[in-house]
Structure 1
Amino acid sequence: MAREFTRHPSPWMIGAVFTGTLIARIAVGDWQATDALIPLVVVATFPLTEWVIHVTVLHWRPRHLGPITLDSELAVKHRAHHTDPRDIPLVFIPTRSLIFTIAALLAIALLAFPRLGLGLTFLLTITTLGLLYEWTHYLIHTDYKPKHALYRAIWRNHRHHHYKNEHYWFTVTTSGTADRLLGTAPDPAEVPTSPTARHLHAS
């Protein structure tokens, strides 16, 4: 299972950034109390961030401005992922989109923080969560069966999103904290099975 995971580009790309950032962070030093605060804030807000990205970016409905179609690779690939949730390459962040994302995160780490060490701490936290996201999402879409309660809750939520109703259960790596907060974690028994869960935005 891990061997299949490492056959895809995104774990290697995120892992390379993580490794380089870790080496740079140790070399820079300058550890301060805020270096502990940044991971706490990022991890605490990650379920909400994940929910917002899933709803607004991945479930983006193509818009048309005259002859121009406003769409993104992430949204296109995510629609394909819903069509065939067991197509493993579609589980991972698309390479081109990931390159742009990494470039943006590097810019934020280098320019948006008052000191380099703090920016590197931010980037180290984000890449750690990125690897966790890719592994969890991959595992959910394999035949691996949950053995522990926490992962079982995460697995169940995302399976409901794909096979029950695409309008609910948007978190992937958490057990639905943001979904409960934002009203997208109903009782599955009370939610009708959506005819468009496999074909997003179809009428």
Structure 2
Amino acid sequence: MSTPTRARKAFTLADARREFWTYPSPWMIGATLAAAVVARIAVGDWQPTDAVVPAAMVALFPFFEWLVHVFILHWRPKTLGPLTVDPLLAREHRAHHRDPRAVALIFIPWKALLWVLPLAVAVALLAFPRLGMGLTFLVSIATFGLAYEWTHYLIHTDYKPKTRVYRAIWRNHRQHHFKNEHYWFTVTSSGTADRVLGTYPDPAKVENSPTAKNLHAEAVPGATG
């Protein structure tokens, strides 16, 4: 007599949180956020213009995501004489498309954060008229970065959407991976930038791409994916 198969335990948010914090990227961004919050409180100098920074970033971050995804993550390797220009972020993102369920490939590569995070700090210190305002920017960008990592990670887990907003975000990104890599480029929103920039088609009218898991490969004529 065969042994009954035990039902697979549902993947919960608690499971997701435990796994999320075992990878370096959340810790690196989280440490930057914590330091930025401490520095911002210490500096003080709170002014009404500080509120402009996070408000502007809420409006602009979906478009920033879109631009990074299209022009950096989907960068096509280019040959310049004996050199091949193929950045780490693009290489890792191609690997992520090949295996969307490989957890280590979901996160921003920690080696890239070694220059991305100092760059964000430099912008905060040099590009604003007041130190306090710059630190507000740093708190905001680190918060958005951590939210991006969490959302992107969660989409690629077995956690099932339970709210309408998250379901829309989840559906859009999974369509980018499993239907057609030329559309649905935003990750933390339900497609605001995609709608504005023309990459939010009716899924029913979009053909499955044969290269969704093999970016920049030549599609085989007649292949349907």
> Which residue of the other structure, out of 58, 67, 80, is the alignment partner of 1:65?
80
Query: Which residue number in structure 2 is paired with residue 151 of structure 1?
Result: 166
* Equivalent-residue separation in structure 2 for 1:42 and 1:141 (angstroms): 25
What is the deviation of 1:167?
0.2
* Equivalent-residue separation in structure 1 for 2:103 and 2:198 (angstroms): 29
Count the aligned residue pairs. 203
Query: Which residue number in structure 2 is paired with residue 5 of structure 1?
Result: 20
Runs of 4 or more consecutive aligned structure 1 residues displaced over 4 Å after TM superposition:
none
* Equivalent-residue separation in structure 2 for 1:63 and 1:143 (angstroms): 36
* Equivalent-residue separation in structure 1 for 2:42 and 2:215 (angstroms): 47
> Which residue of the other structure, out of 71, 93, 97, is the alignment partner of 1:78?
93
Q: Secondary structure of 2:112's partner?
A: helix
2:41 maps to 1:26 = yes
The superposition leaves residues 171-190 of structure 1 with CA deviations (integer Å, 9 ceiling, x where unpaired) of 00000000000110101110
Query: Which residue number in structure 1 is paired with residue 107 of structure 2?
Result: 92
Q: What TM-score do the two structures reach when normalised by structure 1?
A: 0.99
> Structure 1, unaligned stretches of length 5 or more?
none
Query: Which residue number in structure 2 is paired with residue 188 of structure 1?
Result: 203
Query: Which residue number in structure 1 is paired with residue 64 of structure 2?
Result: 49
Q: Give the greater-gyration-radius structure (CA).
A: 2
The superposition leaves residues 31-88 of structure 1 with CA deviations (integer Å, 9 ceiling, x where unpaired) of 0011101000011100001000000000000000011001100000000000000000
Q: What's the RMSD between the two structures over aligned residues?
A: 0.4
> Structure 2, unaligned stretches of length 5 or more?
1-15, 219-225
* Equivalent-residue separation in structure 1 for 2:68 and 2:84 (angstroms): 20
Query: Which residue number in structure 2 is paired with residue 197 of structure 1?
Result: 212
* Equivalent-residue separation in structure 1 for 2:85 and 2:78 (angstroms): 5
* Equivalent-residue separation in structure 2 for 1:54 and 1:98 (angstroms): 16
> Which residue of the other structure, out of 123, 132, 145, is the alignment partner of 1:130?
145
Q: Report the identity percentage.
A: 66
Q: Secondary structure of 1:12's partner?
A: helix
Q: What TM-score do the two structures reach when normalised by structure 2?
A: 0.90
Greater per-residue helix proportion: 1
* Equivalent-residue separation in structure 1 for 2:171 and 2:177 (angstroms): 10
Could you tell me which amino acid in structure 1 is paired with residue 122 of structure 2?
Answer: A
